[in-house]
Amino acid sequence: MSDDLIRLSAREAVARLTKGEISPLDLIEAAEGRIAAVEPEINALPTLCLERARDHARRLMDGEDRDAEDEPGWLAGLPVAIKDLMDVAGVRTTYGSPLFRDHVPDASHPLVARIERKGGIVIGKSNTPEFGAGGSTFNEVFGKTRNPWNTALTPAGSTGGGSAGLAAGEIWLAHGSDHGGSLRRPATYCSVVGLRPSPGRVTRGTVETLFSPLSVQGPMARTVGDVALFLDAMAGYCPHDPMTFPAPEQSFADAVDRPVAPRRVAFAETIGGSPVDRETREICRAAMRHFEDIGAVVEEISIDVDDLEATFLALRGQQFVIDRERQLESHRELIKADIIWNTEMGLQQSTSELARGERGRAALYRRFAELFETYDLLVTPGANTPAFDVDLRHPVAIDGVRLEHYLGASLLTAAVTLSASPALSLPCGFDQYGRPVGLQLVAPPRGEAALLAAGALYEERSGLAKEVPIDSRPGEVPPVAGVD
């Protein structure tokens, strides 16, 4: 029975919980067994809180903690994983940093409290790079997370633990966060589904960057419908976050169940000239036939953006100054090089350089707004390159272009971050080495309902959601194209 339970979609599991066919304790037991079986190979959920989860399950089964039972996003006792950047009361929360190796918070983050109020049961913390900064999931506290499709490869970052755990069947839903692609690239690398919501859709709660739209919280799952369910559990106004706004009257799950196909879809093989693996481009272009099958007119376009990399690095650097300047002053020797680089870039840039970045962001937003006057949906590859060596911080090169820093592999997703648009990553195929390849679907700001509906229609045509969960597979690192 346990093996059958881990293969249920989240929505199927919630339906069975609601009917009383299974209990939350059944799902916790199934997850515990699966975690014990696959965790040694992937290291996705290094911190578990199973007794805390069972206590929550018993309260739900006794009729307690069910105030939100009739609200959208009710999870009915479904186990979930929380990224190890977010506090869960009484559970070790390290942020992937040796500075917080033994940190156990007394209170949960507002988003965790919201998820638990909606009947989600936290069973563990998913691995993340230090402070969520990195294109590969590793840290000095818990080590490396490996990709279940090929354990020689990375699941990307920074929600790599969540994506690997989903693909391997350890969990049904995973919480994550996204700045430059941290929900979207791991979903692509592990052939699951990740959503970066519009800024303000989901509370960020306690961050210092409350007035910045760059970093958001969001859902990851194995199907688009499951992502919609989890977004319903997360979305809504929060007094702790000034950017948040009320959830829509129609639930996101309803939008997926009654989908309206996009009329015009634009495909761009890259944004702003960012290098993209050649085979990835071919696979993604071929996958556009599924949109044509649902009745959409598909056109290939070019999205030209001036100084994309400089714009993103300037704004990201400023955010790192806000988040990490004081830690560099007091504990520089314990912080990894990528974070120091990001923070010092922000400290060293001039006011004029930061202003140039803001003007660049405004120009990019206007470019996207112009495209959305013509197209209902923009589609790009989900990542610049497929999964790479788990022992590397970032790919050596993409399509023959050597990378100077780890963010060079995130510019497709980073461009969409700057546009303030919601973006959905979902599977579209596999390359010649068996590595998952995905699409990035982009809708106008606050257009999550239409975005998820389009994703659900695509997913039904592609059939790729049926490929997970999988047992972990050992493998080798493929050669890097164009590099001797």
For residue 318, CA distances in Å to 112, 215, 342, 362 come to 27, 13, 9, 16
pTM above 0.95, yes or no: yes
Q: Residues with catalytic annotation?
A: 83, 158, 182
The DSSP 8-state label assigned to residue 218 in this structure reads: E
- Over residues 419-446, the pLDDT tens digits come to 999 999 999 999 999 999 999 999 999 9
CATH class of 2-467: alpha beta
The pLDDT score that the predictor gives to residue 483 is: 65
Percent of the chain with pLDDT over 70: 99
- Over residues 101-158, the pLDDT tens digits come to 999 999 999 999 999 999 999 999 999 999 999 999 999 999 999 999 999 999 999 9
Residues 6+ apart with CB under 8 A from 146: 41, 42, 43, 152, 153, 154, 155, 164, 390, 472
The DSSP annotation for 53-120 comes to HHHHHHHHHTT-S-TTTTSTT--TTEEEEEETTS--TTS---TT-GGGTT---SS--HHHHHHHHTTE
- Distance from C-alpha of 202 to C-alpha of 422, rounded to nearest angstrom: 12
The pLDDT score that the predictor gives to residue 481 is: 72
**Span 27-48, mean pLDDT?**
98
Encoding tokens for residue 336? 């990894």
| Closest alpha carbon to 200 in 445, 418, 414 | 445
- Distance from C-alpha of 290 to C-alpha of 284, rounded to nearest angstrom: 11
Residues 6+ apart with CB under 8 A from 27: 5, 13, 17, 77, 78, 79, 172
Rounded to the nearest 5°, which phi and psi values hold at 311?
Answer: -65, -50
CB 182 within 8 A of CB 158: yes
The pLDDT score that the predictor gives to residue 482 is: 63
Report how many helices (DSSP H) and strands (DSSP E) the chain contains, helices first: 16, 15
- Distance from C-alpha of 415 to C-alpha of 103, rounded to nearest angstrom: 34
Percent of the chain with pLDDT over 90: 98
Quick check: 2 pLDDT over 80? Answer: no
Residues 6+ apart with CB under 8 A from 56: 24, 65, 77, 116, 121, 122
The pLDDT score that the predictor gives to residue 462 is: 98
Encoding tokens for residue 241? 């976050």
Residues 6+ apart with CB under 8 A from 85: 95, 96, 128, 131, 132, 158, 177
Which residue is it, tokens 């190796």?
Answer: 101
**C-alpha angle 186-199-159 in degrees, rounded to nearest 5:** 20
- Over residues 381-396, the pLDDT tens digits come to 999 999 999 999 999 9
- Distance from C-alpha of 406 to C-alpha of 392, rounded to nearest angstrom: 10
The pLDDT score that the predictor gives to residue 200 is: 98
- Domains of the chain, by residue range, sit at 2-467
Which residue is it, tokens 């409350």?
Answer: 210
- Over residues 368-379, the pLDDT tens digits come to 999 999 999 999
**Span 318-335, mean pLDDT?**
96
The DSSP 8-state label assigned to residue 122 in this structure reads: E
